[in-house]
Structures are given as C-alpha cells and as structure tokens.
Amino acid sequence: MEKTQITASVCTIGDEILIGQIVDTNSSAIATALNEIGVKVRRMISIADDREQILTSLENELKDNEIVIVTGGLGPTDDDITKPALAELCGCSTYRTDVRQLDVVKSILHSRGLDLLDVNIAQAKVPEACEVIVNRKGTAPIMVFPFGKERYGHQARLYSMPGVPFETLAALPEVMEDIKAHFECGTITHRTVMTFGMAESALSKRIAVWEHSLPDGVHLAYLPNTLTGVRLRLSKFGGEQGENEALLEGLFAELKSELGELVYADSDSNLQTEIGRLLSAHQLKLSAAESCTGGMISHLITSVPGSSAYYLGSVTSYASEIKEKLLGVPKELIEKYTVVSPECAAAMAEGVRRLTGSDYSIATTGNAGPTASEGQQVGLVWVAASSSKGTQTKSFYYRNDRKRNIERFSAAALHFLLTKIKSEVK
C-alpha cells in the first residue's frame, strides 16, 4: 500500500545569511538526510532574526508540512529572539533548564579552559513545552516542539537546531530517528553512478533515448560538481522497497552500459577515494608533483581518511628552480620546451617518483591565471602520470577563473591518474 508522502520545510534564521556573509550549507545537509528517510522537502526559506517574521513564516510552513526544521538564531551572541518566538508559537511561557545539555555546556567550556558564563548557562534553558535532543558538539540543545492534529489538521513536529554546521551535522542522525519514530515516511530508492569527462548537456544528449524510456515514477538527476564530475542518480519514489530495488537494479545496469567509459564508480564516491581504494588493494604507493595546482591535488588525496597508508607525499614546485633543484627537471629541458609542456610534466612526475620511491606519481604544470606568464596560455595545463610501466601526458584547457581552473586542473589530473592505475593493476 502506498503511504502518504510526508513533507518537510527547512528554515534558516539569521541576518548573516540574508546579508550574504554566510553560505547556507545546513539546509543542504538536512535535505539530504530527509530525502534518505523518504521525506520530501517542499521548500527551504531563510528569514531574518525578527519575531514577526519567525512567527508568520513558521506558522505558514507548519500548515503545509508535517516536519519543519529550523536552524540558527541560537548562538551565544545572537539577540534573544528565536527561542522566545518558538515558545510563543507553541503558547508556552515557562522555561526549564535541561540538565543533560548543561553537563555538555560545562564539559565543552572546561575542555577549552573557559569560564562558565551566564550566557552559556542560558543556552541550556528551554521552553517547558519542548522535548530536547542533546547537542553533544555544542552548547545549544536541539528543541523539538510537537503539535497535535487540532492545530494544523495534521500532526506536526518542529525541530530547532543550532546554526553551526558542525553541530547540525552531528545531531542529524538523532533528529532523523525521531522523525521516523513519529511519522510513517514514504520510500525513496536511489542508485548513483559517478562519471567524469563529459558535461551535463552532452551527457543528457548521449543518453536521451534511454532516459525518455524510463518508467513512470523513476527520475534521473544530473548533479555536476567540478571536483567529482557529473553524478547521475536514479530515484524511485513511493511503492514497495524490494520491488523498487529490483527495478532500479535493472535500469542501473542499462544506464552504466549507456555511459560506458565515462563511469568511474558505481556508488556515490569521488576520484581521490577511488584512487585510494585501488592503491590500498594492491599495496601501491603514490606521490605528486604540483606546479599550477599548488597543493590542491595533495590536499584532495589527504582529505581521504587513511590516506597515509598509500600516500608518501608531494613536492609543490611553484618556482622553476624548485622543479630543477628538488625534482631534477633539467634546466635545458625547461629552456627548450618551457615549463608548461608535456616534457616538463613528464620530468616532474618521474622526478617525484624517483625522489619518494613511490609506485605511481601524478604531476601538473600550467597556468591557472589570471595573468599569462612567459607567453603561456591562461587555462592550459599539462598533466603527467608515471609508473614503472611508463609515463603518459595529456593537456587540458579550461576558460574559468583562477579558483575554478585550479579545481578543474586537479580533477582532470586525478581522473587521468585513476584511469592509468585501473588499466595497469587489472
């Protein structure tokens, strides 16, 4: 039997978002978590730290949705607006101190060597009408306000979470458990495949015929990301979980065959994680030599927990003399071919592999902009990947700003390396 679709609204409170000083990453994390438990996010809103706006907006969202998740407005330096507004919303005028949260407040301040201030104690105070989910990573508790059917025509729960992304992320699993305990959520089944090397519009053209033949209720989402390539996600909403999984299994195999060589992972992943997985499995070591990417590749590789098992290190040879002195790139080679050349990239990759004794290495040399140096084209990068089986080079050209060029150079290099490793360890 099809269950009714439970919907949610995600609301952020705080002037800092409206003046554009903070990018709201909480809403996206919350939406992902809700989606995974089968709750559909109908709307997201950001409003000011203003009593009237808070009351009007939350009232509206509660009318349309069973679940409303609010973040922000609870920090120690925030004006005292959000908590009293929430108390007013549920018609509660008395407060209690949550002792479990107060313990966390004390322990956090103690570990930081700070005194317990009145503003800190005040954070553990909550309206009597709310239930509390303890915030273990911060001082402001998660407050849960339940509303009966008589008020909005449906049962509803409002969750008030702190605005600090780190704290919100840590508390999300408990909030999702609470939602599942109070509502019959629908089913959503997903299958994700990672692709690299083709833009969204070209991809969509390539698989257009197949995509148009998808059965009702199945949706394909294109999720492009500079560092990971385009993620494609097949989703089936509603229905029976087991049947959905079998249906998606078949469609997913078709999708992968349509995409062919563009696929680099058949679950949610990224290039550096896949590289790490292969190197670990074959007990191989990696090193890097970076010029224009300036440390970004090394940063991406070491962002993977456990990367010290296969990553030895890197040389960022930003200046030409470092390419010569540390990596042993011959001065004559640079004079003959310039630093942005396949010859220089190859010499850098071989140099760092020799220097560190790694099995594989990756190197980049190019110009990310904004200004052209030594007559080199802005946006051009030469990449080299090296192993005992040989060294290959490839160039890429992008027309973005410095920040984005560095990201695209790094991703292209990682994909080039992953492809080489895959072809050699088979």
Q: Under rule CB under 8 A, which residues in 376-395 are in contact with its own copies?
A: none
Distance from C-alpha of 209 to C-alpha of 121, rounded to nearest angstrom: 61
Distances (CA, A) of 151 to 62, 126, 157, 316: 9, 22, 12, 62
* Closest C-alpha among 163, 172, 169 to residue 75: 163
Give how many residues touch its own copies by CB under 8 A.
Answer: 92
Distance from C-alpha of 118 to C-alpha of 138, rounded to nearest angstrom: 16
Total residue count of the chain as it appears in this document: 426
Q: Under rule CB under 8 A, which residues in 318-347 are in contact with its own copies?
A: 318-319, 321-322, 325-326
Instruction: Indicate whether 372 belongs to the interface with its own copies (CB under 8 A).
Output: no
Q: Under rule CB under 8 A, which residues in 259-318 are in contact with its own copies?
A: 288, 290, 294-303, 305-308, 311-318
CB of 404 to its own copies, least distance (A): 6
CB of 142 to its own copies, least distance (A): 19
Query: Which residue's CB is nearer to its own copies, number 81 or number 92?
Result: 81
* Closest C-alpha among 79, 73, 68, 74 to residue 17: 73
Residue 98 amino acid letter: D
Q: Under rule CB under 8 A, which residues in 17-36 are in contact with its own copies?
A: 17-25, 27-35
Distance from C-alpha of 293 to C-alpha of 416, rounded to nearest angstrom: 15
Distance from C-alpha of 170 to C-alpha of 77, rounded to nearest angstrom: 22
Q: Under rule CB under 8 A, which residues in 113-142 are in contact with its own copies?
A: 114, 117, 119-120
**Which part of the chain contacts its own copies (CB under 8 A), choosing from 71-79, 80-88, 153-161, 244-252?**
71-79
Distance from C-alpha of 157 to C-alpha of 368, rounded to nearest angstrom: 49
Query: Which residue's CB is nearer to its own copies, number 45 or number 90?
Result: 45
Distances (CA, A) of 118 to 34, 79, 124, 125, 170: 35, 14, 10, 11, 25
Instruction: Indicate whether 41 belongs to the interface with its own copies (CB under 8 A).
Output: yes
Q: Under rule CB under 8 A, which residues in 199-218 are in contact with its own copies?
A: 200-202, 204-205
Judge contact between 373 and 367, C-beta under 8 A.
yes
Distance from C-alpha of 8 to C-alpha of 183, rounded to nearest angstrom: 12
Q: How many CA atoms lie within 13 A of 167 on its CB side?
A: 21
Choice from 42, 63, 106, 256 touching its own copies (CB under 8 A): 42
Distances (CA, A) of 83 to 87, 89, 121, 179: 6, 10, 14, 21
Query: Which residue's CB is nearer to its own copies, number 136 or number 151?
Result: 136
Instruction: Indicate whether 406 belongs to the interface with its own copies (CB under 8 A).
Output: yes
Choice from 73, 162, 351, 369 touching its own copies (CB under 8 A): 369
Q: Under rule CB under 8 A, which residues in 157-186 are in contact with its own copies?
A: 166
Query: Which residue's CB is nearer to its own copies, number 149 or number 212?
Result: 212
For strands 188-195 and 229-237, give the pairing. Answer: antiparallel
Query: Which residue's CB is nearer to its own copies, number 129 or number 236?
Result: 236
Any bridge partners for residue 158, and if so which?
68, 145
Choice from 241, 257, 373, 423 touching its own copies (CB under 8 A): 373
Query: Which residue's CB is nearer to its own copies, number 92 or number 295?
Result: 295
CB of 150 to its own copies, least distance (A): 26
Distances (CA, A) of 13 to 25, 83, 101, 163: 13, 11, 22, 8
Query: Which residue's CB is nearer to its own copies, number 92 or number 218?
Result: 218
Query: Which residue's CB is nearer to its own copies, number 129 or number 367?
Result: 367
Distance from C-alpha of 251 to C-alpha of 215, rounded to nearest angstrom: 10
Query: Which residue's CB is nearer to its own copies, number 241 or number 397?
Result: 397
